[in-house]
């Protein structure tokens, strides 16, 4: 049975990320509730990967916060990361990974 559509699985609150003069992510907030499928759409360079990187704690936000299953994401910590899995597009397949038995 699907979980009730209440509570929050993942939330981002007012995320900002700057690279020098470029504001790559400008005040982004969202809430994802149990059972929801959430898509992040935008043109090349819109900031999707930067948002996901902050959500996963791979890079720190300049401001704002991320909560995963009620735990605040801290790039330096592990507590929130235990609730999260990520397959980044750049690393989905390792170049040296072979199906052949060696």
Ligand X SMILES: Nc1ncnc2c1ncn2[C@@H]1O[C@H](COP(=O)(O)OP(=O)(O)OP(=O)(O)O)[C@@H](O)[C@H]1O
What does the alpha-carbon distance between residue 40 and residue 66 come to, in Å, rounded to a whole number?
Answer: 15
Residue nearer to ligand X on the CB measure, 49 or 71: 49
Binding mask 5-24 for ligand X (x = CB under 6 A): --------------x--x-x
User: How many other C-beta atoms lie within 10 A of the C-beta of residue 24?
Assistant: 18
Q: Would you count residue 39 as binding ligand X (CB under 6 A)?
A: no
- Out of ligand X, Mg ion, none, which partner does residue 5 contact, by CB within 5 to 8 A per kind? none
Cα-trace Rg, the chain: 16
Give phi and psi for 11, each to the nearest 5. -140, 145
Q: Which residue is nearest to Mg ion (CB)?
A: 49
């Amino acid at each position: 049975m699907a979980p009730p559509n209440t509570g929050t699985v993942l939330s981002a609150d007012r995320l900002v990320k700057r690279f020098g003069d470029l504001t790559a992510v400008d005040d982004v907030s969202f809430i994802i509730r149990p059972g929801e499928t959430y898509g992040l759409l935008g043109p090349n360079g819109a900031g999707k990967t930067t948002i996901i990187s902050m959500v996963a704690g791979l890079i720190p936000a300049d401001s704002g916060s991320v909560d995963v299953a009620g735990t605040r994401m801290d790039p330096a910590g592990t507590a929130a990361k235990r609730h999260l899995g990520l397959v980044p597009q750049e690393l989905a397949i390792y170049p040296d990974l072979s199906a052949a038995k060696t």
